[in-house]
Structures are given as C-alpha cells and as structure tokens.
Amino acid sequence: MKIRGAVLEEIGRAPKYADSTPLTICDLELDEPAGDEILVRIECAGICHSDLSVVNGDRVRPVPMLLGHEAAGIVEQAGDSVTDLVPGDRVVMTFLPRCGQCRGCRSNGLLPCSEGTASNTKGTLLSGQVRLHRGGEDVLHHLGVSGFATHAVVDKRSVVKVPADVPPEVAALLGCAVLTGGGAVLNLARPEPGDTLVVVGLGGVGMAALLTARALGAEVIGIDANEEKLGQARSLGASAAYTPAAAAELGITAPTVVEAAGNTRAFETAVALTEPGGTTITVGLPAPDAMAQVSPLMLVAEARTIIGSYLGSAVPARDVPVFADLWRQGRLPVEKLVSARIRLEDINAAMDDLAGGRALRQIIHFEGEASG
C-alpha cells in the first residue's frame, strides 16, 4: 500500500533543520504484513531525543531510514501467525522487540534482547525483512517501528496491546518516555511513599520518571541546566527544582538519583547528588565515545551503587499495563508531557525545538493525513 512518512536521507546535516531538512516527507510503498507481522494505522507519534540523536549523528544508523519509535495506533491487518492481535486493537509500539528466547530475554528486563538489538542495528524488522520501499529502493526501519508515518508494518513482538480507553497520545508516550523514565523508577528505584528521589535531566524521559515517582508517593527534586524546565518540573509535581550549580551550592543530596539527560556532565552531576550509601541509576544514552570521571575510592569508601538501565529495565508486556493502570487511576497524568501537537510536515522544525530544549514531547497526529 501507499503510505506517507518522514525519511532521514543523510546523517549529520547542520541545524537549523527547518532549512537543511534532513527528513523528507514523501510517499512510500509498504508491503503487507507476513507471518508474525501486523499492519498498524498510526494515530500518534512522539518525537524523542533518540530520533534527534540519529538526525545529528550521535547515534549512527544506516540510511535512508524512516524514523520514529514512540507511537501508537490501530491494528488493521495481522499476518498468518498472529493469534493474539486482531484488527481494531490499539497497540503501543516499543523500540526493542524481544525474541523471548535469548539470554537478554531471560534477564527480567535487565539486558536487551540480542536478536532485537541486531535487527535494530541493521534497520530491519525482527524477521530480518524490510517492508518499506521508495522508487524500488529499500527504506530501513527505525528500531523496528518507523512511526513517523501514516502506517507501519511491525513484528507483533514490537507492540503491546492496550485497552481502548487509553487515548492514542497517552499510549504513544507509554512506549518510550514512560517505559524508559518510569521503568527506571518502577523497576529499579522502587521508592516507598515519602522517599525523596532526585531526577537529573528534565526532558520527556526525566519528566516521566518524575511523574512515576509521584504516582508511587515519592517526593521529587528535579535538576536541569535549563531554567525553563525547572518551572515545568514543579508544575508536574516536583517539590523543588534547581540547576546543577544551585543544587551543589545548597548541598542537595538524595539516596536515589535518576539520570535521564544522556550526557557526561549530567551523569557526573547525578553521582555527585547521590548521598553516601545511595544509588545512581542512569538511563540516558550519551554519545558512544563519551567518558565520565568517577572516583573509584568514593565508590568503595562511600559504599555507592551505580546502575545502568536500558529502556528502564522494563519488560514492555509486563510494565505497559502497570503504567496504563496508574494512568487510569489518575495517578500518572502522562498527557502533561505533551508540549505541542504537530503535523508530520512540521517534523524538521520540531527537531529544532527539541534540540533547542524548547520541547518536552511534541506529538504528531495523523488523523486526516492523506494515505491509501
């Protein structure tokens, strides 16, 4: 079928992206779903920092690639081997398909799936197939999803079904921002009511960590170098919010600190704000060559723990329903992460807003997009 999507043509084009247009909005051919695959009509897709990291070259992927990995939509067609999903189901896309067999898949969410990681690196679906084409040429899949499009064919292990009462915007956010930031809190920090948690880096993932900690009854202190984010954090329920410099000056520390910014300085800040005996949980994805300084003596003498958490150490099929329930109970107002609602055509300018720190989550709505 013919679809419309946003294809990254080349890595590393210079900002301003509204002018250099690294992403082309174009028509593509999408194959029918086969075997374990499903065809999904995309309702909403969120623009995440990991998309920007591909555009700016921090995370190198093969191109041309149809970007987007935080999305939700309605199943329109299921391959022959799919028994647990039917047309009409609303599904959340997750950005690391799990084969269910490998060592990573048996690690209770701690390790990524090795097969899913391999297919994501190549830009294929979990089956190794490419279902997207343009003018006879293959266009690669982003993290098994490619959600910046009117439709996607994905492996059934790339999605989690959600009840129909979960709105598409909320559903999309559950798949990346909430699973990553919230998962780190739910699965690793595990705060008791009244505990204090520090969150460093107040983008979509950090704010999702904040909301989840609040949902579990914890107090949250937000940290970000961008002062605008501090007011937003307070309005999302943080009891206090500071720049890293102000936090250091005030001597702020907490037993558990979540780092969600994905750069060396934020990681070092997070370690510095962790009190002796405490735990630093890092979920951000810095550039591959980034190196941080940590004192090994301090780790030992102050009995510190540093935990790396990929995708919030989440098992999507287990954790997405937990977050959906918290949302339904009114305890996790995921929709507050939405800072703008945009059209697919606005995507390059949206990358500028994200790069400039002006956006929390910009959501593309596909209702009414031409396709057929």
Edge-to-edge order in the sheet of strand 219-223: 240-242, 219-223, 196-200, 254-259, 274-282, 305-308
Q: What is the x/- site pattern for Zn ion, positions 65-84, by CB under 5 A?
A: -----x--------------
Contacts of 118 (CB under 8 A, 6+ apart): none
Helical axes 204-215 vs 227-235, angle rounded to 10°: 30
Q: Among 3, 43, 50, 314, which residue sits at the site for Zn ion (rule: CB under 5 A)?
A: 50
**Which residue, 45 or 252, has its beta carbon nearer to Zn ion?**
45
**Which residue, 42 or 176, has its beta carbon nearer to Zn ion?**
176
Stretch that binds Zn ion, among 144-152, 174-182, 235-243, 250-258 (CB under 5 A): 174-182
- What whole-number distance in Å separates Cα of residue 220 and Cα of residue 218? 6
**Which residue, 173 or 188, has its beta carbon nearer to Zn ion?**
173
Contacts of 59 (CB under 8 A, 6+ apart): 50, 53, 285, 287, 288
- What whole-number distance in Å separates Cα of residue 124 and Cα of residue 142? 8
Task: Tally Cβ neighbours within 10 Å of residue 227.
Answer: 11
Told to check if 99 binds Zn ion by CB under 5 A, we report yes
- What whole-number distance in Å separates Cα of residue 241 and Cα of residue 232? 9
Q: Among 48, 160, 200, 359, which residue sits at the site for Zn ion (rule: CB under 5 A)?
A: 48
Q: Among 93, 126, 145, 176, which residue sits at the site for Zn ion (rule: CB under 5 A)?
A: 176
- How far lies 285's CA from each of 17, 105, 202, in Å? 22, 21, 14
Spatial CA neighbour of 49 closest among 353, 266, 334, 364:
353
Stretch that binds Zn ion, among 80-88, 95-103, 217-225, 244-252 (CB under 5 A): 95-103
- How far lies 28's CA from each of 32, 38, 137, in Å? 13, 17, 10
Q: How many residues bind Zn ion (CB under 5 A)?
A: 9
Contact status, residue 145 vs residue 124, Cβ threshold 8 Å: no
**Which residue, 113 or 149, has its beta carbon nearer to Zn ion?**
113
Minimum distance between the CB of residue 322 and Zn ion, rounded to whole angstroms?
A: 19
Told to check if 105 binds Zn ion by CB under 5 A, we report yes
Minimum distance between the CB of residue 101 and Zn ion, rounded to whole angstroms?
A: 6
Q: For residue 288, give both structure tokens.
A: 């591959």
Minimum distance between the CB of residue 95 and Zn ion, rounded to whole angstroms?
A: 6
Q: For residue 9, give both structure tokens.
A: 């043509």
Q: What is the x/- site pattern for Zn ion, positions 253-282, by CB under 5 A?
A: ------------------------------
Residues paired with 343 in a beta bridge? none
Stretch that binds Zn ion, among 108-116, 231-239, 246-254, 352-360 (CB under 5 A): 108-116
DSSP string, 205-236: HHHHHHHHHHHTT-EEEEE-SSHHHHHHHHHT
**Which residue, 258 or 273, has its beta carbon nearer to Zn ion?**
258
**Which residue, 50 or 119, has its beta carbon nearer to Zn ion?**
50
Stretch that binds Zn ion, among 40-48, 71-79, 209-217, 319-327 (CB under 5 A): 40-48
Stretch that binds Zn ion, among 110-118, 195-203, 289-297, 338-346 (CB under 5 A): 110-118
User: Which residues in 321-350 contact Zn ion (CB under 5 A)?
Assistant: none
Told to check if 118 binds Zn ion by CB under 5 A, we report no
Q: Among 28, 54, 78, 113, which residue sits at the site for Zn ion (rule: CB under 5 A)?
A: 113
Residues near Zn ion, by CB under 5 A:
48, 50, 70, 99, 102, 105, 113, 115, 176
